[in-house]
């Protein structure tokens, strides 16, 4: 349904119904919107079917019959590029005036490239990385960073407020991705810092929970401690809130972005090396805070 130069969002396609996507789909369905979903996992499709979404078995069917908005929640830049610009070329199947909202965390350069191609077709593309984890996706309280056409953004305000609570317009395509990978570098670096502090305290005989309680009420408190601290203290790494493979990918994107502006990276490089060591140990499906275990092994804490 058109309204002026834009399309009012009623029919939505979603690609990616994993840890983040399934929560967004649930909230869109509960808001009464028509949602069509594709995911490679049959189990993921079953979950969103139970929420009221329609599912499709092939990617090319996601846009059949027309979409007002296509939402992506995919794990890598390659997956996003192949979906929108590759053999399936879903961008080409979107109608003029429609929207693509990519909630994946990808290379800023790719977001710029997709935005330029979408603009030529008259499609509004927003890179829209999110923060808040699966819990935020499920509760509709995500922070959403947006890069794209600011004027067109007003027409999808209602949609964005269904899946998120804190909506930030950052700038042109790519800028939201730059902010997101900077943010995730901070999370990675603070995770490493917390781990080192816990190990140091333990070697002096401090109780880790006591340390977390005090730091959590002091200047050193952080969202990293609040969200991932319990996983580190209870060692529930096999119940990931944010997988190691995803954080490793994001810190790697940060370092690639650093190279593009010829800027030195001290903390980012350090965090990357530690996350890389964890990946080499085959811990990719664990929570990213499993780097705590890697550092404990380095320090011989439990030996």
Residues 163, 186, single domain; the answer is no
Helices (H), 204-300: 208-215, 223-234, 244-260, 267-280, 291-299
Question: Do both 150 and 36 map to the same domain?
Answer: yes
Beta bridge partners of 54: 36
pLDDT above 60: residue 7: no
Clarify whether residues 79 and 212 are in a common domain. no
Last residue of a domain, one of 122, 154, 173: 173
Statement to judge: residues 104 and 221 lie in one domain: no
CATH number of the domain bearing residue 144: 3.40.50.720
Residue 83 phi/psi, 5-degree rounding, is -70, -45
Does residue 3 have an active-site annotation?
A: no
Looking at the fold, whether 97 and 190 belong to one and the same domain comes out as no
Q: Is 109 exposed, middle or buried (0-12, 13-18, 19+ CB in 10 A)?
A: middle
State the first-to-last Cα distance of the chain, in angstroms, to the nearest integer.
65
User: pLDDT tens digits for 54-81?
Assistant: 999 899 899 888 899 999 999 999 999 9
- From the list 130, 135, 162, 133, the residue with the least C-alpha distance to 146 is 130
Asked if 108 contacts 174 with a C-beta cutoff of 8 angstroms, the reply is: yes
User: Would you place residue 106 in the very low, low, confident or very high pLDDT band (cuts 50, 70, 90)?
Assistant: very high
**301 or 129: which carries more pLDDT confidence?**
129
At residue 173, does pLDDT exceed 90? yes
Residue 112 has pLDDT above 50, yes or no: yes
- Give the distance between the most distant pair of CA atoms in the chain: 68
Q: Domain check: are 110 and 191 in the same one?
A: no
Please, which pLDDT band fits residue 4 given cuts at 50, 70 and 90?
very low
Written as six digits, the tokens of 229 are 């601290």
> Is the pLDDT confidence value at 2 over 60?
no
We report the CATH number of the domain holding residue 195 as 1.10.1040.10
Domain that holds residue 234: 178-299
- Written as six digits, the tokens of 9 are 């969002």
Residues 165 and 225 in one domain: no
Give me the pLDDT at residue 10, please.
82
Rounded mean pLDDT of 230-247?
Answer: 96
Rounded to 5 degrees, what are φ and ψ at 4?
Answer: 65, -135
Same domain, 15 and 152: yes
Q: Are residues 147 and 235 in the same domain?
A: no
Same domain, 90 and 113: yes
Q: What is the pLDDT of residues 18-28, one digit of tens each?
A: 999 999 999 99
Among residues 22, 26, 93, 180, which one is catalytic? 180
Domain count, the chain: 2
Report the pLDDT value the prediction gives residue 13, as an integer from 0 to 100.
96
Q: Which of 173, 200, 232 is the last residue of a domain?
A: 173
With a cut of 50, say whether residue 97 has pLDDT above it: yes
108 close to 216: Cβ distance less than 8 angstroms: no
Domain boundary among 122, 152, 173: 173
Q: Are strands 99-102 and 124-127 parallel, antiparallel or unpaired?
A: parallel
If asked whether residues 294 and 196 sit together in one domain, one would say yes
Give CA–CA dist 135/153, Å, rounded: 25
Whether residue 21 is found in the same domain as residue 144 = yes
Q: Which residues contact 38 (CB under 8 A, 6 or more apart)?
A: 13, 14, 15, 17, 45, 55, 56, 57, 58, 59, 61, 62
Element (H, E) at 174: none
pLDDT of 1 above 50: no
């Amino acid at each position: 349904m058109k309204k002026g130069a834009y399309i009012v969002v009623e029919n939505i396609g979603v690609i990616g119904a994993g840890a983040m996507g399934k929560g967004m789909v649930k909230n869109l369905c509960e808001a009464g919107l028509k949602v069509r979903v594709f995911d490679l996992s049959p189990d993921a499709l079953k979950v969103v079917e139970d929420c009221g979404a329609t599912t499709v078995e092939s990617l090319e069917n996601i846009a059949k019959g027309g979409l007002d908005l296509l939402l992506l929640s995919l794990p890598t830049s390659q997956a996003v590029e192949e979906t929108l610009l590759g053999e399936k070329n879903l961008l080409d199947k979107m109608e003029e005036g429609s929207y693509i909202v990519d909630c994946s965390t990808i290379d800023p350069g790719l977001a710029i490239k997709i935005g330029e191609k979408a603009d030529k077709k008259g499609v509004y593309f927003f890179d829209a990385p999110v923060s808040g984890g699966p819990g935020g996706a499920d509760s509709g309280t995500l922070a959403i960073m947006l890069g794209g056409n600011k004027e067109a953004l007003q027409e999808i305000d209602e949609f964005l407020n269904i899946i998120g609570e804190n909506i930030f317009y950052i700038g042109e395509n790519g800028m939201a991705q730059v902010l997101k990978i900077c943010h995730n570098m901070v999370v990675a670096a603070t995770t490493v810092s917390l781990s080192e502090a816990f190990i140091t305290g333990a070697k002096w005989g401090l109780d880790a929970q006591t340390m977390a309680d005090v730091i959590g009420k002091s200047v050193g408190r952080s969202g990293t401690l609040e969200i991932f601290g319990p996983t580190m203290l209870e060692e529930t790494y096999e119940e990931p809130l944010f997988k190691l493979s995803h954080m490793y990918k994001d810190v790697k994107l940060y370092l690639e972005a650093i190279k593009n502006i010829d800027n030195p990276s001290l903390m980012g490089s350090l965090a990357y090396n530690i996350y890389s060591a964890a990946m080499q140990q085959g811990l990719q499906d664990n929570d990213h805070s499993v780097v705590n275990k890697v550092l404990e092994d380095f320090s011989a804490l439990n030996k």
